[in-house]
Every structure is written in structure tokens, then in C-alpha cells.
């Protein structure tokens, strides 16, 4: 839905779609896990104040710069500090867990915070092979079982059936809404087949975004949970008073991507104005590709970037990631974005 407003200089399209927040509870250089979780909680409070629709946390393991590994607990941390905003997982990496464990965790969350919990499901391990083995003890099945595990989990969260022998309490009858997450066309196909909303990780893997959106919408089958396709897309936000400051803040994420590609993950580093000059041509090209779905700069630049992205994709919702070193600057980035996009 959109409407056209006019200023003295030009006409602008204001896209009226929900905006949400994706948080990884970043652990910054010089900080610790306790600070990261306190900042995550504070960001959830501010997201609610600013009119954001959801606050999601992502499961990653053995990452020195990310504190959201125990995702259900970090969701509880955010939900307990807020009253209205939806809080959930973006996502739970289901191959790491027995479905019954996730059903119990999210059934408990739904009981504590009724009508506010989302369960996004992904099939990546969220860590390296060694960590995956430690989580699952065995790699048998794993990602190949993902569709079956989603159906099993969905049944556990649904109403009990006559003759049912296994009862999951808490969980049964909670009907916690499920989402399928993806960074390829596989997730799009599964979400469409099951009639579930689809969230695409375009904030770090944009290559197959348009193809995945097309497949999802073209093959979607209505379900009890969802009658028509619903696409939420990841998008990076580095909003600041000026373009120069926005680019400077974004160098923390650039450093994180570069160190991960080099096999040297670190805590989130402070911005470095000279960092881009230190990159090889190949690294610079990789970063440009990864950051395609981003708004970096002043309020006008951010508004223009968001409008262009929504016009290109027809997204039903955006989930915004802002991996900024300084917590106050991160909150300010979400404030600027909420103001220029008209949700605050």
C-alpha cells in the first residue's frame, strides 16, 4: 500500500509497509556478553517505542561477536522488557535441534507472552562443522530432514488429534506462527508448498533474492495460517546525520564480513575510516556484493534507498539489521529510519 505526498521541490512515494528489527546481540571489542544482552534488551524497548512491527533474534554458534546463540532465552530477554511488539526467532536453525525441544521452548514463550511470539525456521547450521557436530552429536539427516522436521514441529504446536500418543506440553495448541527463512530458492519452494510466510536473508546473501521471491509467489499454496504470499526481506541500515558518518559506521560490519571470509571471526570492531583502503580488489568486490541490500548515509539517502528497494521487490515487510559498534548510534540509526519512513 502506498500514497503519494508532495513537497515544495518534488513528489515522493511513501511506502506504507511494516518495518521490523533483526538483532544479533553483537559483542563489541572491549565489551562482553552481559553488555550485549543488555543492549539487545534496550534495543527491543526502543524498537517498540519507534513503531517497529517485530524484534527478531538469530541463532549463531561459536561466533565471538554474537551473543544470541541461546535464541529462546534472548527472545525472552526482549519480550520481558516490552509489551506490544512481536518478538521471535530469525531464526532457529532447526537441524541443530529435536523439534520437540523447539516446540516446548516456543510453547513456553507463547504462554508467557501470548500473541507476540514468532518462530522463524532455517536449515543452515549457524556455525562451523565442528560446532554442528557438538550441537547434534551426529550429522545424519541434518539439513535433508528439514522439511520433515518443519512438519513435525508444526504438528506439535497445533491442536491435539484423536488417538495422538505424543503430547508436547508446553507447546500443544499454542499455534505459534511459523516462518520459513532462506538465502536460496529452497526456502522459497518450501514456504510456498506449506503456505507459510517467507523471510529472505537479502541483508547478507542477496544473489538469489529476486528469483526466490518470484518462485515463492508463483507457487504459493494457501494454508490455515496464511491465505496469500507474504515476503519479508532483510535490509541493512546505517542511518546517520550525514552520508560520511553512515559510511563510517558501516565499516564495523565490513570488518566483520572480511574477517569471517578470512576465517578469523572477531568481536565487532570499532569503525575505521581507513578500512576500505586496506582491502584487496577482490575483497572490495565481495563486500559490494554482500551489501547490495543496504541503506548507508543521511536521512534522505536512507529514505531513497528504502523506497527504491521496496519498489524493486514489492516486499510486504522489511526486517532491518543495523550492526553498529556504538549502541547509542545503533538506536539513533533505527530512530532516523523510523522517522523518514513514517512509522515513528
Inside any domain, residue 40:
yes
Which is more confident, 7 or 242? 242
Return d(Cα 94, Cα 147) in angstroms, integer: 10
Q: C-alpha angle with apex 73: 112 to 148, nearest 5 degrees?
A: 85
Class of residue 114 by CB neighbours under 10 A (exposed 0-12, middle 13-18, buried 19+): exposed
**Secondary structure element (H or E) that encloses residue 129, with its range:** helix 129-136
Inside any domain, residue 7:
no
Inside any domain, residue 163:
no
pLDDT at 234 over 90: yes
Mean pLDDT of 186-193: 97
Return d(Cα 76, Cα 108) in angstroms, integer: 10
Which pLDDT belongs to residue 118? 98
Q: Taking Cα atoms as reference points, which of 177, 163, 162 lies closest to residue 224?
A: 177
Is residue 326 within 8 A of residue 29, CB to CB? The reply is no
Class of residue 156 by CB neighbours under 10 A (exposed 0-12, middle 13-18, buried 19+): buried
Inside any domain, residue 6:
no
Grid cell listed for 344: 515513528
Cα 181 to Cα 86, 237, 339: the distances in Å are: 17, 20, 28
Which pLDDT belongs to residue 107? 96
**Whole domain around residue 326: which residue ranges?**
14-158+168-340
Inside any domain, residue 8:
no
Mean pLDDT of 202-225: 96
* Residues in CB range of 335: below 8 A, 6 or more apart: 46, 50, 344
Structural domains counted in the chain? 1
pLDDT at 236 over 50: yes
Which is more confident, 339 or 260? 339
Which pLDDT belongs to residue 143? 66
Inside any domain, residue 53:
yes
Inside any domain, residue 9:
no
| Rg (the chain; Cα; Å) | 20
Which is more confident, 241 or 167? 241
* Residues in CB range of 65: below 8 A, 6 or more apart: 26, 27, 28, 256, 265, 266, 267, 268
Return d(Cα 53, Cα 66) in angstroms, integer: 23
* Residues in CB range of 229: below 8 A, 6 or more apart: 192, 198, 216, 217, 220, 316
Inside any domain, residue 135:
yes
CATH of residue 76's domain is 3.20.20.30
Is residue 119 within 8 A of residue 176, CB to CB? The reply is yes
When mean pLDDT is compared across 38-42, 130-134, 218-222, 320-324, the lowest value belongs to 130-134
Return d(Cα 332, Cα 25) in angstroms, integer: 16
Amino acid at each position: 500500500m502506498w500514497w503519494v505526498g508532495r513537497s515544495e521541490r518534488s513528489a515522493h512515494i511513501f511506502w506504507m509497509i511494516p518495518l521490523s528489527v533483526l538483532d544479533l546481540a553483537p559483542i563489541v571489542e572491549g565489551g562482553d556478553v552481559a553488555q550485549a544482552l543488555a543492549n539487545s534488551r534496550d534495543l527491543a524497548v526502543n524498537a517498540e517505542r519507534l513503531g517497529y512491527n517485530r524484534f527478531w533474534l538469530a541463532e549463531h554458534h561459536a561466533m565471538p561477536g554474537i551473543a544470541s546463540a541461546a535464541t529462546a532465552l534472548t527472545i525472552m530477554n526482549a519480550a520481558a522488557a516490552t509489551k506490544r511488539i512481536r518478538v521471535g526467532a530469525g531464526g532457529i536453525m532447526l537441524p541443530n535441534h529435536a523439534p520437540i525441544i523447539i516446540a516446548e521452548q516456543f510453547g513456553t514463550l507463547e504462554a508467557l507472552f501470548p500473541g507476540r511470539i514468532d518462530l522463524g525456521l532455517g536449515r543452515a547450521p549457524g556455525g562451523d562443522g565442528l560446532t554442528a557436530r557438538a550441537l547434534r552429536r551426529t550429522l545424519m539427516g541434518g539439513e535433508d530432514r528439514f522439511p520433515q522436521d518443519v512438519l513435525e514441529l508444526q504438528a506439535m504446536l497445533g491442536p491435539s488429534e484423536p488417538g495422538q500418543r505424543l503430547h508436547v506440553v508446553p507447546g500443544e495448541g499454542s499455534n505459534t506462527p511459523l516462518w520459513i527463512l532462506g538465502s536460496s530458492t529452497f526456502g522459497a519452494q518450501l514456504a510456498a508448498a506449506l503456505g507459510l510466510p517467507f523471510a529472505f536473508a537479502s541483508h547478507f546473501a542477496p544473489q538469489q533474492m529476486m528469483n526466490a521471491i518470484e518462485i515463492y509467489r508463483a507457487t504459493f499454496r494457501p494454508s490455515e495460517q496464511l491465505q496469500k504470499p507474504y515476503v519479508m526481506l532483510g535490509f541493512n541500515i546505517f542511518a546517520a546525520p550525514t552520508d560520511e558518518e553512515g559510511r563510517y559506521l558501516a565499516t564495523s560490519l565490513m570488518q566483520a564480513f572480511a574477517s569471517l571470509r578470512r576465517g578469523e571471526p572477531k568481536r565487532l570492531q570499532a569503525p575505521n575510516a581507513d578500512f576500505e583502503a586496506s582491502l584487496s580488489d577482490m575483497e572490495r568486490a565481495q563486500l559490494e556484493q554482500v551489501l547490495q541490500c543496504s541503506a548507508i548515509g543521511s536521512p534522505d539517502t536512507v529514505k531513497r534507498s528504502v523506497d527504491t528497494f521496496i519498489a524493486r521487490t514489492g516486499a510486504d515487510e522489511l526486517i532491518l539489521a543495523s550492526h553498529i559498534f556504538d549502541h547509542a548510534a545503533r538506536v539513533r540509526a533505527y530512530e532516523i529510519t523510523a522517522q523518514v519512513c513514517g512509522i515513528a
